[in-house]
Structures are given as C-alpha cells and as structure tokens.
C-alpha cells in the first residue's frame, strides 16, 4: 500500500511568506510555517544605504523570497515529521503585479554590485504606485487608438500593473532597462529559481500584463507609440509563451532541492496570484459561485464560459483562475481597513473599556451591540469609499460618506452602518455581474473577515439575498497553491490530474451557512435603492461634490 | 448728589433662573445669583404623584418661578450690599412659548387641588412637543384658507407655539380648557405676580402667538374652523391689548415687594423673550448687526425698518425686539449640541487622555489640533443637521451628513468639519436675509460658545466674510432684562427713557474682534458652494435620501 502523500503550498504575501504542508487525500493541513521578509516593504531607503525613495515607491528584495523557501519548507517537514519522499508536489502564489529586472540567467539586477544602488534594479511590489504617469500615458494612448484590449479591463489599466512599471524603468532609468535581459513577475521568478525553467503563468499575464489567450499582448505598434525603445519589450524582455495555470513548470533543481530539503525533480506548478489561487481552495471550479476574499480589501472572482463585458470589473482572463473558464475579477478597495479606521478614529472610550473588561476586541464589543439593531432602525446610510472605489466605478478619488446622523446616533449604529455600506457595495458588484449576463447563486467567503465577524456575514447574506458559505481553511491561498502542486504531480504520482479533481478532495467549506433573512432583505432592498442613488449621485458625476472636494484638497495641500 | 442707581434683570431659563444686579450708569454687573427650579423639567410624572406623562411632554411648576424671585433677588442685594432704595427697576425675560392656564386672578390651575392631578393644568414648557397634531391642523387649515399671517412665519408654525399648546388643552382636556379663565405666557404671568397687572408683551405675542401690530391675531373665523369651542380663545382667555416691550408693566405690589426685599412700587418692565432681550445687551438697537446667541442651538436676530419676506425665517414682529423696528428671527436648531454629540459619540480615547493630562476639556484639545488645519485640507464637508434644520429649510426630519472620509481622516479633521458645517449653515441664513433685502454688516455674538471656542468664531468670520464681535457680558439676557428695567424706571427716576439710551451706556462688547482672513474666505467660498449643493440636494427635495431614510426609520421602529 502506498504511503500517504503530501504537497506544499507557499503563499508569498506583502510582508511574509507562509508554507503549508497538506495531505493530498483530503486536504488536511498538517503543518505551516511563516517567514517574515527581512527587508519587508522597502519604501524609505534602499537596504544598507542612505539612498532615499520617493513617495509612492514600494520595493522588495528577491533574496527575501528565497530565504522564505529555505526557512519554511524545512520547518513544515520538521514540524510534521513527513519525509521529503512523500512530498509529491509544490505550488506557489504571489502578490501581483510584483515584478523585477533580471539578467538572462535569472540573477536579479539588484543582486549585482553595479546595480544595487539603483532603486529601479529592485523588485517593484504590487503597491508601488509611482508609475501613475506611465499608467496615465498607457490609458490615454489606448483610448486614443481604441485599443481592443482596453474594455477587458473596465476601460482603464492600473499604475500597479506590469507595463506601467516596466515603462517607468525605461523612463527613469533607461540604463537599468537596457541592462535587464528579462522583466518578470516575482511569481514566475521564484518558480524559475525552483525549477531552473523560466515560465510565465497565464494568471499574472492575463490580469496584470494585458495578455489574452486569443489576442496575446498589445501590439508592438502600440508599444512603439508609447516609446520607440519600448517597441519590442515583449519579444526582448518577456515571452510570448504563456503557460496555463494548472500545468507543471518543471522539477526541483538539485541545488534548490538540497537547499529546501525536498527531492530533486519534485514537480513544481506554474505560479499563481494569491487571490485567484484561493478559488479552487474554496471548492469553486465552475460558474455560479462568487468567491470573495475578505480582508483589508475584498477581491471577488467568478468563473464563466461566457465572454461578456461587465461594468467596472478589474479584468477577465481565459484560464486565469481555473483552466477552461474565463475568470472575472472585481473588488472593493477598502473593507476591513475601513472598519479598522473606524475603531481607531471614531470609537469612544467606553467601548475600549468594555473590551478590556470582557477580554475581547473592540470589534467584538461593537458587533454585539450592532447585532441587536434592526436594519433601517438607525436611519443611517453610508458609502464605503474610504479608499476610493475599485469596482464598479474604478475611481481612486472617491471618498466615504455618512448620511442620517442625529443627536441620538450611537457608535454601534455607525459601526453597523459602515458594515452595511460594504454590503451594499458588494451588491453593486454582484448586480453588475448579473446585468452583464453572468450567474451568481452563492458567495463563498475566505480571508480574515469571515472568521472574525459573523454579523458582517449575515448582513452580506441579508443585503445580497445570497447564501454565504465560508472556506474551511484559514489560509486558502496557501492551500490553493498546494492543490496546484498536487495537479503538477498528477494522478500517476499520487496527485490529481485536474484542479477540479484536487478541489473535490482537498477543498472544504465550513458547515455553517449564512442564510438570508427575507424580512431583513425586504428592508435592505429599500436601503439599497437609496445607496444606489447616493452611489450614482456622488460617484458617476465627474463634477460631484466628492470629486470637487478632492480637487480642492489637492490645491490647498 | 444722587446715590448710585441699580437695576435687576432676571433671566428665567429651562432649568433655573438667574438674577443680575447691574449698575445703571455703566452696566457693570455687581452681583448675580441662580435658583435651580426644584421640579426642573417635568417630563416623566407629575410631582409627588405616579401620574405618568406621555412622550414629548415637558411641564414646569409655576411656583418654582416665584421661589426663584424670592431666592435670587435677596441674594444679589445681600451679596452687593446695595440698598433696596437704590434699585430703581426690574426686568424679566423667559423661555417661550412657555404657557399656562390660570384662574381670573392669576392662580395657576395646577396649584388648585381639584386640577393638580391633571397634566394639562401645569405649565407647558417651550420644549413640550406633544402638540404636533394641533400644529399640523393649524398649518393645514391656514394653508388651505391662505391665511395672510402664514408667510410671516416661513409658511409653518411650530408645535411649540401658543395656539398649538392651547388647542392641545382643548383637544385632550376640555374640562381644563373650560376651567382656565386665562391662558398666558409664563413671562407675562410672572410680571403679573410682580405687579398685580396682567399684561401681554409684544415679543411673545408676535413670535409665538401669531400676533402682529398691524393685523392682530388670526381671525375668530379661523379659530372656529379649527374647533367651534376655540372661536373666541383670544377674547375669552387672552387679550387683544398687547403691550410693546420697553414699557412699564406696573410697580411692585406691596406683598411681592416684601417677599423679595425691594420697595413697593419699584417699576417692572413688560416681559421679554430670553433670546430677544439679548439684542440690546449686545449693543444692537439698529439695523445692520446680526445678533447671534450661540449655545446648544443658535438664535439669530436682526432689526430692520423694512417689512420683507425672508425664506425660512422663524418669524418677524413689529416692536418684537426693539421698539420702532421689525425684529426678524432665524436660527440653527443644533450647534453646541452637535459638537457635544461628537465628543460623546465619535472621539477616541487618546484625546480624552490628553485632555486629562493637560487639565483641559476635550473640546480644547480638539480645538488646538483643528486650529492647525487649513480650510479645505481635510477634504471633508458636512451638513450640520443633527437635529433637523430650523432656518432656512424648516424641516425637523433632516439629519446630518459627512462627505469626504478617507482612511487618513482624523478626529480633529472631523471636529473641524463639524464646526465648519455650522458656519456654512450660518452663512445660508445670512445670505437669505441679504437676498430678502436686509442689511447684515457684522455679527455680534453672545452665549456660551463665543466664550469657549475662539476657533469657531474665527471660522464663522472666515466663512461669512463678516467681522464678529462678542458681547462683554456672559449673561446677556439677564443684562438685557436689567436694561429694560432701567427703561421701565425712566430717566426721571435715574434710568433711561429708551432702550437705545440704555444700550449706549449699559451694553458693551469685548475688545477682541474676529476679522475674516481673505485667504481663508476664498477657500471657504469654494467649500460653501459645495455645501449649498449638498444642502439643496438633500434638503429641498421632499423625496431626498435623507427624507426617505427618516420614513424608513419610522416604519421599522
């Protein structure tokens, strides 16, 4: 009888990487380990130097990623006592777009003494926002030329994305651009380090680098119109060979195998994006279920076999989430962050005192009071735009609003109104999907918030009218990566041949389902109509009070 | 050479009465004393009984008023060592409309054993709001009949006013109504107690009982249309003889003189309203200066010799404030109360800790931070409608709004935005006056807020573009009453013949003037335009989001 098989998934986050060792047969998470990046987010000065960074910069050190592999994988093996012989596959997911310039052999430019002092030689983290001028140029030119790919991204690409960042290197450090043989996502780079094979995964290419399976990248003609030196960026520094997720990138190199304590040749999956890889880990491999990762912000993903245009979506990609389907992505730019803002900036001392006395968090105290309120009872209504609106308005200049405040308004009432605001924002996204012709029958939630705030989940159910189920895993991304590791191994090696098959065995939901209350839904339908009025009044008018306040703020700053 | 002369003013407030002994020659406030009403505001059950009161009821005990006279006047004499012989006059002001049923000799019905258990026999305090159905009937009928007096009150009379309360007695306790020989303002009743003479002052009659010098009261025909039994309410229970303020009601009765320690025959002025009497105490006896009493709410008064229609005004009365002028009144229903709400419901622990450590109030801590912010810098804008909008929208169903909140929004920024919101509300009132054809060249402030919050005064100056001066007296109403006492005495007796003359000698302003900053004004002009957009969007549409939220709140309650 064959021994028990395991796979390892590694989730590369913003501040740390987490490895999870998972049993292939049932997805049981046997061990996990975290490695904090020693340089974290580099946003003030380059490591070991006085070289300052400008505002909106956010870099990382690629050697932190390698160290994370070297620390976490031996750690989960040691913790679990599992033998490397029984680890049949490895998968990774990463923040994106997190990209870097390297030499032809994969050596990061920033590792080379001659480039180490140049900020552009380092990894540009997803939240590096200094390429906004380049994003603006790309968007303006694309609009002007009527580029066919622009509608796929809701009419606008982000400063966070691949070509914005690449163009910034060319603009500001042409010598770095020239020295970079390759420009590559950190996700693909780490797989390259593991396997010795340079691959480019369909998920980051599709969502972050304007690639589509049918049309490829934007034309060289378009790139030339941006800058003559940029014409052949794809051919010279990237690759037109995009590997669909769910395939094997290669096997572990002997060198890397030794460094991380696994067998040489252990199959490694092509890389994935941290959000998207959570979808199969939430059991979802087919249309109809909206997967929502709920944390500081919220990311919503939906599969479909139909190609449709959805207002305000972040983008869609063939094979971007699960092979064989188009993967649609939308999101709310601020959810948990907004609640944290409220706690830090609007909650009075008695609630802190009570939390201390009860030995619980302030959130829990407020949740217990807010849960006693009926929908509509406070007379409050809010717009959840603390950090702009990602979907469906795609506008970073929007800000949050609260309406209905009276002398009788209480802290728990305001807390609940903010929770409800994010629920209404969620419903706008869902209705946009449905209006575009996609099916949404349920929400599968994962991330930190579903664990922490049951009231929030119930409000989401009541506002959307959809049942909400919650992933059984508290680390859905790492589990998803492990599942792709099992697929990279394949059934013959004790894994699975498809991600659907892996999901069937390895992904689980909690028993608890948040079922909409028809009574609450009826009241929320009324409130939602008012939310939409405010949403359109403040959000769709380019000259709305909010937009003008933002302009004035910039003027007087 | 004549000895120094003094007058006494008594300000009857909501919870207590305050007497001030003032030197006639220069208005110096020599002594003051306060008497708390032993029954305060009666809003739960009748004193010494289990008889419960309904929601929105607010009664008082008239004997508390008499006790206040008996306590405070001897107290200020004793404190100052001034002889009763040198007190040449007495004036009083009162909350209004605060009204009561009495027998023909002035005995309050509630003092009689046979009526004491009936709530309708007691004084209905200004904030008794249970006569809303009667106010609604009066307004509906007046609109239907096109009553000529309705526009004088901005198209709507209040549940707080005289005929609303009188009609409630008739509706709910016809036996009390029948037993009441007189229905009278507490202001006039206390003067009656002092002098033995029943007078009705032009100020309360004009602002609270729909009286005008030119047209008198509404017609008996109108009252009959409300209720046949109400037809002769004025003739039977009130009086058509209205005495202009600034005249003498009579002299102290021997009995009362003995009880309060003054000389029999001491001249007593006709009564006044607490807000309006502050106008001459703020040195204002002519058009052009807006007097604003700033406290929990704000009351704005303006004199003019022109009769014009101003949108959203509370009302105007010939001789209502200063004889010879029309007195216009407007107001903001929530100012200091709103800031207090913010402190209690939206300020985080560190500000309380800092206040404690510095030994100052939380307001002062927030003021010091908010003062460092530039206008427009926070990106915030608020509507100051925590308790509805008195002027110019006259709508109790409105509620407050805050726009522009981001993850970077701080407590001091929100505090300043609320201060600014009340400034913008103030400017709407001033612009309404100006649009109607009245002159506003400066603001004279009195009340608690100008003492407490200099930042607020500077913001008011910057937003309105008007200089703001502040009354030298912290008790402007009591001082104003004392001034009317000096006028009741007359120049021959060592007082003054007119309130103008009294103001010239007895009223003073502080040296400090809040002068508008042109730079701040320019930014606030931009913000004000946005405020007006929000104001009109939420406030003028009877079907606005705010109005619908209120309706939903009532439905689900």
Per-residue model confidence as pLDDT tens digits over A9-58: 999 999 999 999 999 999 999 999 999 999 999 999 999 999 999 888 99
Quote the CA–CA distance of A414 and A383 in Å, as a whole number: 12
What is the b/e burial string over A239-251, where b = at least 16 CB atoms within 10 angstroms of the residue's CB? eeebbbbbbbbbb
SS3 B555: helix
Best of B332, B345, B550 to substitute, by most chain A Cβ atoms within 10 angstroms, is B345
Quote the CA–CA distance of A264 and A254 in Å, as a whole number: 5
ipTM of the complex: 0.92
Using an 8 Å CB-CB cutoff, list chain A residues near B347. 348
Chain A: residue whose CA lies nearest to B352: A349
Closest CA of chain B from A337, distance in Å: 8
Quote the CA–CA distance of B464 and B429 in Å, as a whole number: 10
**What is the pLDDT tens value at each position of chain B, 557 positions in all?**
468 999 999 999 999 999 999 999 999 999 999 999 999 999 999 999 999 998 889 999 999 999 999 999 999 999 999 999 999 999 999 999 999 999 999 999 999 999 999 999 999 999 898 998 999 999 999 999 999 999 888 788 889 999 999 999 999 999 999 999 999 999 999 999 999 999 999 999 999 999 999 999 999 999 999 999 999 999 999 999 999 999 999 999 999 999 999 999 999 999 999 999 999 999 999 999 999 999 989 999 999 999 998 888 888 888 889 999 999 999 998 999 999 999 999 999 999 999 999 999 999 999 999 999 999 999 999 999 999 998 998 888 899 999 999 999 999 999 999 999 999 999 999 999 999 999 999 999 999 999 899 999 999 999 999 999 999 999 999 999 999 999 999 999 999 999 999 999 999 999 999 999 999 999 999 999 999 999 999 999 989 999 999 999 989 98
Best of B297, B528, B549 to substitute, by most chain A Cβ atoms within 10 angstroms, is B549
Quote the CA–CA distance of A131 and A442 in Å, as a whole number: 37
- Binned at pLDDT 50, 70 and 90, residue A409 comes out as very high
Q: Is the dihedral of CA B269, B274, B275, B278 positive or negative?
A: positive
- Tell me how many residue pairs between chain A and chain B have CB atoms under 8 A apart: 152
Contact between residue A318 and residue A212 where contact means Cβ atoms under 8 Å apart? yes
Pairwise CB contact (< 8 Å): A403 & B549: yes
Q: To the nearest 10°, the Cα dihedral for B136, B138, B143, B144?
A: 100
Chain B: residue whose CA lies nearest to A381: B549
The 10 Å Cβ neighbour count of residue A408 is 13
Per-residue model confidence (pLDDT) at position A2: 63
What is the b/e burial string over B244-270, where b = at least 16 CB atoms within 10 angstroms of the residue's CB? bbbbbbbbbbeebbebbbbbeebbbbb
Closest CA of chain A from B74, distance in Å: 40
Pairwise CB contact (< 8 Å): B377 & A556: yes
Contact between residue B428 and residue B440 where contact means Cβ atoms under 8 Å apart? no
SS3 A254: helix
Strands lying side by side in the sheet with A99-102: A59-60, A123-124, A99-102, A182-185
Chain A: residue whose CA lies nearest to B336: A407
The DSSP output letter for A119 is G
What is the b/e burial string over A270-290, where b = at least 16 CB atoms within 10 angstroms of the residue's CB? bbbbbbbbbbbbbbbbebebb
Pairwise CB contact (< 8 Å): B405 & A387: no
Pairwise CB contact (< 8 Å): A552 & B523: yes
pLDDT tens digits, residue range A223-254?
999 999 999 999 999 999 999 999 999 999 99
Q: Is the pLDDT of residue A75 over 70?
A: yes
The DSSP output letter for B108 is B
Q: Is the pLDDT of residue A1 over 70?
A: no
Per-residue model confidence (pLDDT) at position B246: 94
Q: Is the pLDDT of residue A155 over 90?
A: no
Of B331, B294, B303, which is closest to residue B451 (Cα–Cα)? B294
SS3 A425: helix
Closest CA of chain A from B336, distance in Å: 11
Quote the CA–CA distance of B174 and B170 in Å, as a whole number: 4
β-pairing verdict for A509-514 and A99-102: unpaired
Per-residue model confidence (pLDDT) at position B1: 46
Pairwise CB contact (< 8 Å): A411 & B557: no
Pairwise CB contact (< 8 Å): B409 & A344: no
Chain A: residue whose CA lies nearest to B377: A553
Smallest Cβ–Cβ distance between B556 and the set A348, A376, A401 belongs to A376
The DSSP output letter for A212 is B
Of B376, B377, B399, B379, which is closest to residue B387 (Cα–Cα)? B399
Determine which helix (DSSP H) or strand (DSSP E) holds B288, and give its type and residue range. strand B288-294
CA angle A341, A514, A282 (to 5 degrees): 85
DSSP assignment of A130-156 equals: TTHHHHHHHHHHHHHHT-TTGGGGTT-
**Which of these CATH numbers, 1.20.120.140, 3.30.420.40, 3.30.1330.10, 3.30.360.10, describes A6-275?**
3.30.420.40
**What is the domain partition of chain B in residue ranges?**
6-275
Pairwise CB contact (< 8 Å): A404 & B546: yes
Smallest Cβ–Cβ distance between A549 and the set B530, B550, B556 belongs to B530
**Structural tokens at position B374:** 């530039």
Quote the CA–CA distance of A158 and B504 in Å, as a whole number: 69
Pairwise CB contact (< 8 Å): B538 & A337: no
Pairwise CB contact (< 8 Å): B403 & A405: no
Closest CA of chain B from A413, distance in Å: 10
Report whether the peptide linkage leading into residue A193 is cis, meaning its omega lies within 30 degrees of zero.
no
Best of A541, A549, A550, A557 to substitute, by most chain B Cβ atoms within 10 angstroms, is A549
HSE at residue A62, side-chain half, CA atoms within 13 A, is 27
Best of A404, A422, A532, A544 to substitute, by most chain B Cβ atoms within 10 angstroms, is A404
Strand partners, B23: B6
pLDDT tens digits, residue range A239-293?
999 999 999 999 999 999 999 999 999 999 999 999 999 999 999 999 999 999 9
SS3 B346: helix
Per-residue model confidence (pLDDT) at position A253: 98
Pairwise CB contact (< 8 Å): A533 & B552: no
Strand partners, A17: A12, A35
Closest CA of chain B from A335, distance in Å: 11
Of B129, B128, B230, which is closest to residue B183 (Cα–Cα)? B230
Pairwise CB contact (< 8 Å): B403 & A523: no
Pairwise CB contact (< 8 Å): B407 & A538: no
Contact between residue B243 and residue B201 where contact means Cβ atoms under 8 Å apart? yes
Pairwise CB contact (< 8 Å): A552 & B338: no
Closest CA of chain B from A464, distance in Å: 19
Strand partners, A294: A298
Smallest Cβ–Cβ distance between B379 and the set A334, A345, A553 belongs to A553
The DSSP output letter for A497 is S
Per-residue model confidence (pLDDT) at position A505: 98
Quote the CA–CA distance of B421 and A235 in Å, as a whole number: 58
Using an 8 Å CB-CB cutoff, list chain B residues near A551. none
Chain A: residue whose CA lies nearest to B383: A403
Residue for token digits 């950090």? A387
Pairwise CB contact (< 8 Å): B346 & A349: no
């Amino acid at each position: 009888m064959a021994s028990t098989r395991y796979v390892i998934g590694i989730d590369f986050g913003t501040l740390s990487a987490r490895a999870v060792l998972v049993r292939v047969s049932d997805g049981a998470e046997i061990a996990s380990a975290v490695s904090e990046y020693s340089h974290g987010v580099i946003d003030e000065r380059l490591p070991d130097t006085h070289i300052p960074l400008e505002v909106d910069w956010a870099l990382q050190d690629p050697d932190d990623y390698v160290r994370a592999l070297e620390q976490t994988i031996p750690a989960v093996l040691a913790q679990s006592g599992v033998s490397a012989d029984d680890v049949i596959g490895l998968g990774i997911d990463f923040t994106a777009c997190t990209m870097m310039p390297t030499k032809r052999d994969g050596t990061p430019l920033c590792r080379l003494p001659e480039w180490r002092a140049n900020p552009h030689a380092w990894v540009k983290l997803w939240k590096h926002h200094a390429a906004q001028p380049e994003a603006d140029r790309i968007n303006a030119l694309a609009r002007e030329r009527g580029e066919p790919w622009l509608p796929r991204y809701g009419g606008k690409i982000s400063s966070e994305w691949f070509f914005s960042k690449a163009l910034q290197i060319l603009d500001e450090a042409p010598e770095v651009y020239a020295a970079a043989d390759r420009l590559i996502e950190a996700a693909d780079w780490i797989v390259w380090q593991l396997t010795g094979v340079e691959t480019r995964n369909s998920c980051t290419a599709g969502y972050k680098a304007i690639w589509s399976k049918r049309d490829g990248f934007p034309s060289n003609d378009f790139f030339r119109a941006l800058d003559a030196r940029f014409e052949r960026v794809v051919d010279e520094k990237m690759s037109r060979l995009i590997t669909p997720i769910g395939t094997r990138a290669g096997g572990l190199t002997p060198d890397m195998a030794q460094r991380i304590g696994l067998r040489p040749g252990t199959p490694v999956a092509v890389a994935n994006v941290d959000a998207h890889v959570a979808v199969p880990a939430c059991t979802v491999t087919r249309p109809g279920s909206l997967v929502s990762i709920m944390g500081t912000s919220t990311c919503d993903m939906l599969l479909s076999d139909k190609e449709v245009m959805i207002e305000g979506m972040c983008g869609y990609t063939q094979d971007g989430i699960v092979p064989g389907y188009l993967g649609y992505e939308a999101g709310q730019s601020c959810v948990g962050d907004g609640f944290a803002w409220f706690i830090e900036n609007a909650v009075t001392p008695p609630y802190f005192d009570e939390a201390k006395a009860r030995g619980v968090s302030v959130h829990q105290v407020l949740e217990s009071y807010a849960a006693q309120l009926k929908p509509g009872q406070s007379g409050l209504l809010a717009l959840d735009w603390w950090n702009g609106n990602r979907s469906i308005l795609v506008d970073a200049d929007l800000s949050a609003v609260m309406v209905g405040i009276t002398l009788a308004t209480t802290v728990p009432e305001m807390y609940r109104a903010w929770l409800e605001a994010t629920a209404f924002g969620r419903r706008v996204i869902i209705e946009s999907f449905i209006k575009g012709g996609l099916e949404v029958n349920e929400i599968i939630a994962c991330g930190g918030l579903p664990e922490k705030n049951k009231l929030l989940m119930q409000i989401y159910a009541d506002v959307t009218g959809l049942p909400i189920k919650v992933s059984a895993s508290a680390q859905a991304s790492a589990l998803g990566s492990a599942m792709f590791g099992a697929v990279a191994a394949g059934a013959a090696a004790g894994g699975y041949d498809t991600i659907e098959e892996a999901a069937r065995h390895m992904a689980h939901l909690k028993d608890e389902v948040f079922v909409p209350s028809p009574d609450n839904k009826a009241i929320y339908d009324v409130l939602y109509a008012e939310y939409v009025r405010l949403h359109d009044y403040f959000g769709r008018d380019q000259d709305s009070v909010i937009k003008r306040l933002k302009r004035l703020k910039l003027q007087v700053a």
